[in-house]
Chains A and B, each alone.
Chain A
Amino acid sequence: MTDQEKILSEVTGSDYKFGFHTDIDTETIPKGLSEKVVRIISAKKEEPEWLTETRLKAFRHWQTMKMPEWAHLRIPEINYQDIIYYAAPKQEAKYESMDEVDPELLDTFNKLGIPLEEQNQLAGVAVDAVMDSVSVKTTFQDTLADKGIIFCSFSEAVKNHPDLVKKYMGSVVPYTDNFFAALNSAVFSDGSFCYIPKGVHCPMELSTYFRINAANTGQFERTLIVAEDDSYVSYLEGCTAPMRDENQLHAAIVEIVAMENAEVKYSTVQNWYPGDKNGKGGIFNFVTKRGICKGDNSKISWTQVETGSAITWKYPSCILRGNNSVGEFYSVAVTNNYQQADTGTKMIHIGKNTRSTIISKGISAGKSENSYRGLVKVLKGAENARNFSQCDSLLLGDKCGAHTFPYLEVDNMSAIVEHEATTSKIGEDQIFYCNQRGIDTENAISLIVNGYAKEVLNKLPMEFAVEAQKLLAITLEGSVG
């Protein structure tokens, strides 16, 4: 069988296959959010005073804020006092050797296809595995350390590299940025930290795998990536959660800093539990991702494949401050059943000759709502800024919605900004044409949708591209009947 065939035959008849729950001793704190809870989290992480203070400032600010309502989403009321803000698999958070890791935990990540034993790993991918509120294991740390690369959990970074964390944390996404960023800044529990020193080309893909396991908890992680002058890193993020009838909240922050001539590629395959066919349960995915091209000739590229979550609210953005810097956003967002997604990007052109590209492919099926929302802003000083945006929507069936909300703010006459948008329906004719060549309808849809999303899927690292194709097929299963 070809790879493609294998993928397709594997997915036929399967549901959300990461919906299992690991029965493991979990330490949780009581439900609810208060200054006391913020202090407890900070104390559990043995954090320095400045970080506790930052959390408290964020918390106080959050209390003055309201949930944003401008997105094309219907969000049920969220009781923030009904959420557990800290849950950790019991035992030490970090292990000296693999023998110390709870076999249940290892098993969990094995089932997810993320073996934590280095010898079993995909060659060339280092993984930081985060379960609920803590990082379980980071692989290949030693190999990377030889090059001076720091890749560890956020908590470890706070302990071992406090100066770097203090300098960059909140420098791209301040806690005042928005409601969910403030919430995250108050209660974040772990995440990944990555530092690429000057002139280093990171030899392997770095990856964080986020897993929500405990019930009634929220996951609030943050990722911070700093790429010094002339460095390069490709970073992958994956996420899954058990199937539960209750909604669970995930509010993350990702910050990227790219210095002169640095390039950061950030890829996400988001597969949080989307809820059942009737829209019950699923993850609320409210995420703030932003990168700054600080130095000249730097480049930040976001690629995302969004198939999961009941509700997605997410706009990975680039601040193009360095001259000649480049921002890219490639996105495939798929919604089925009652899923809702409002996603897109912001490209802020500040430096001269800055360029940005936006390719967004929305796919809606079932009774879902899928919106692209993007801002291209060209500031006065951004001479010769260029943007190209292409937003395509594909509809499967006639009960779903696709929406495009492009915003343009251009304050420099030399800027060239192009926007193209299309909406199409997957054609009966296309499906029949495939049928007539012996291809059944499920496979035909998979073929057509993957063809439609190809431009974006091609941007993903190899292993992820395969994973993403599978996901597209699973997500759209039963969408044509």
Chain B
Amino acid sequence: MLEIKDLKVNIEDKEILKGINLSVKPGEVHAIMGPNGSGKSTLASALAGRDYFDITHGKIIYEGKDLLELSPEDRAREGIFLGFQYPVEIPGVSMVNFLRTAINSMRKYRNQDPLPAGDFLKLMREKKQVVEIDSDLTNRSVNEGFSGGEKKKNEIFQMALLEPKLAILDETDSGLDIDALRIVSNGVNKLRSPENATIIITHYQRLLDYIVPDFVHVLYKGRIVKSGDKSLAKELEEHGYEWIKQEVDAEM
């Protein structure tokens, strides 16, 4: 589904990603962990098509297409979803209007007719249950006045509605209390299927108690320095990032 080959990214002449290689197949859940400043969010942004940095080298092949040739909206329409670390507020634009515009933009791209209003509202009601979202929330403006937890739930709710093939969740666990973490994780688990894949970006291991990954990668100084199964996350928790840092820095 996704092949990242030797991806190098600069922000203002500083190399942030120094050659990332990653292969994701349908049905898989990958966790990318790493200390602050290791380049995790930059990787998520590069996949989604944010353009505040330069991609200096490498390739991203998604479903047989050169992802770097696609605009951010076309990537979304091709099934890539980014759960934002800091979802923005859009005052005056209701969630209903926003999501209907989104879903119909995607349908148009696939030469499908727009979803009739009744069907859309039914779909919303259905998907709200996935993340136990307050029904009042969807009548409000996009993220406006939402608490941190509500914003993150709202991201997963949108993911449920848009049914992406590849979801990238950027620090979705940050700022969540234990109840919200459980709800968000349950939501993600319910959406897992043999057809879609998920990349979870996180600093802490605790999220992985709820969403069990097939693979864990450790990102450090712009490189994936270690990959393994879920036991790697446990090891990280026990030893901390210092263990990896020392190992890597010794080699360099």
**A-to-B contact residues, CB < 8 Å:** 1-2, 4-5, 427-430, 432-441, 443, 447-448, 450-455
Contact = CB atoms under 8 A, between A and B. Distances in A.
A430 B98 CA distance: 12
A447 B98 contact: yes
B92 A437 contact: no
Contact of A2 (B87, B100, B162): B100
A448 B90 contact: yes
Contact of A439 (B50, B84, B102): B102
Contact of B48 (A427, A428, A429, A436): A436
Contacts of A436: 48-49, 72-73, 75-76, 81-82, 84
Given A432-B50, A433-B84, A439 B101 contact: yes
Contacts of A450: 92-93
10 contacts: A4-B97, A428-B52, A435-B71, A436-B75, A436-B82, A436-B84, A438-B109, A448-B93, A452-B91, A453-B92
Contacts of B100: 2, 4
Contacts of A2: 100, 104, 114, 117
Contact of A451 (B52, B71, B91): B91
B114 A1 contact: yes
A447 B104 CA distance: 14
Given A2-B114, A447-B93, A447-B97, A435 B72 contact: yes
Contacts of A451: 90-93, 141
A436 B74 CA distance: 9
Given A438-B105, A439-B102, A447-B101, A5 B73 contact: no
B252 interface: no
Contact of B92 (A5, A432, A434, A454): A454
Given A433-B88, A451-B93, A443 B72 contact: no
Contacts of A438: 73, 76-77, 102-103, 105-106, 109, 162
Contacts of B101: 4-5, 439, 443, 447
Nearest to B141: A451
Nearest to A6: B114
B93 A5 contact: no
Interface string B214-246: 000000000000000000000000000000000
Given A4-B101, A447-B101, A452 B88 contact: no
A428 B52 CA distance: 10
B88 A429 contact: yes
B158 interface: yes
Contact of A433 (B75, B90, B109): B90
Most buried by B among A1, A4, A432, A443: A432
A432 B84 CA distance: 11
Q: How large is the interface on B (under 10, 10 to 19, 20 to 34, 35 or more residues)?
A: 35 or more
Contacts of A440: 71, 73, 105
Contacts of B91: 451-452
A391 to B, nearest CB: 16
Interface string B103-142: 1111001000010010000000000000000000000011
A437 B97 contact: no
Contacts of A443: 101, 105
Interface string B24-61: 00000000000000000000000011101000000000
Contacts of B92: 450-455
Given A436-B72, A438-B162, A451-B141, 8 more contacts: A433-B90, A435-B73, A436-B84, A437-B98, A438-B102, A438-B103, A451-B90, A452-B92
A435 B114 contact: no
Per CB-CB distance, the 9 closest pairs between chain A and chain B, nearest first, are A451-B92, A451-B93, A437-B102, A435-B72, A454-B92, A438-B76, A438-B105, A438-B106, A435-B73
Contacts of A428: 52
A441 B49 CA distance: 13
Contacts of B103: 438
A435 B49 contact: yes
Contacts of B102: 434, 437-439
A427 B84 CA distance: 15
Contacts of B82: 436
A279 to B, nearest CB: 30
A2 B48 CA distance: 27
A455 B91 CA distance: 11
Contacts of B98: 434, 437, 447
Nearest to B77: A438
A430 B86 CA distance: 11
Which residue, of A429, A433, A450, has the highest number of chain B Cβ atoms within 10 A? A433
Nearest to A458: B92
A433 B91 CA distance: 13
B87 A433 contact: yes
B105 A439 contact: yes
A429 B103 CA distance: 20
Contact of A435 (B76, B81, B90, B93): B76
Nearest to A429: B88
Contacts of A448: 90, 93
Contacts of A439: 73, 101-102, 105
Given A433-B84, A452-B91, A1 B104 contact: yes
A428 B117 CA distance: 30
Contacts of B48: 436
A5 B76 contact: no
